[in-house]
Amino acid sequence: DIQMTQSPSSLSASVGDRVTITCRASQGISNYLAWFQQKPGKAPKSLIYAASSLQSGVPSKFSGSGSGTDFTLTISSLQPEDFATYYCQQYNSYPPTFGGGTKVEIK
């Protein structure tokens, strides 16, 4: 299975900060990468697919980049509703696998 490693595993940030989360694949996955946001007790919400394409209705403060093995999710200006855990997922090969998550907390 392809291993997805996210860093950091957690971070503290303030409202208005620019936040970047990194996801690294154990082998090349082209751009078959998605990002999800999950709040406590809730289902994940899809943010990005194909590494950089925003899902419908997702605000443009979220952006994704990368290809091959290294990917990033950036939140341009952190808002209170953005405090959550973020997961990456590769779907280049079976089985699709998720990163361990990055918890974004309030500083």
Residues that bind other proteins (CB under 8 A): 30-32, 34, 36, 42-46, 49-50, 53, 55-56, 87, 89, 91, 94-101
Structure tokens at 67: 């290809």
Residues 6+ apart with CB under 8 A from 41: none
Between 24 and 96, whose beta carbon lies closer to other proteins?
96
Residue 48 CA to residue 57 CA, distance in Å, equals 11
Residue 85 CA to residue 9 CA, distance in Å, equals 9
Distance of closest approach, residue 12 Cβ to other proteins, in angstroms = 20
Between 17 and 45, whose beta carbon lies closer to other proteins?
45
Between 15 and 105, whose beta carbon lies closer to other proteins?
105
- Please give the distance of CA 18 from its chain centroid, rounded to a whole number: 14
Between 1 and 74, whose beta carbon lies closer to other proteins?
1
Distance of closest approach, residue 95 Cβ to other proteins, in angstroms = 4
Structure tokens at 76: 């341009």
What pairs with residue 66 in β-bridges? 71
Distance of closest approach, residue 104 Cβ to other proteins, in angstroms = 16
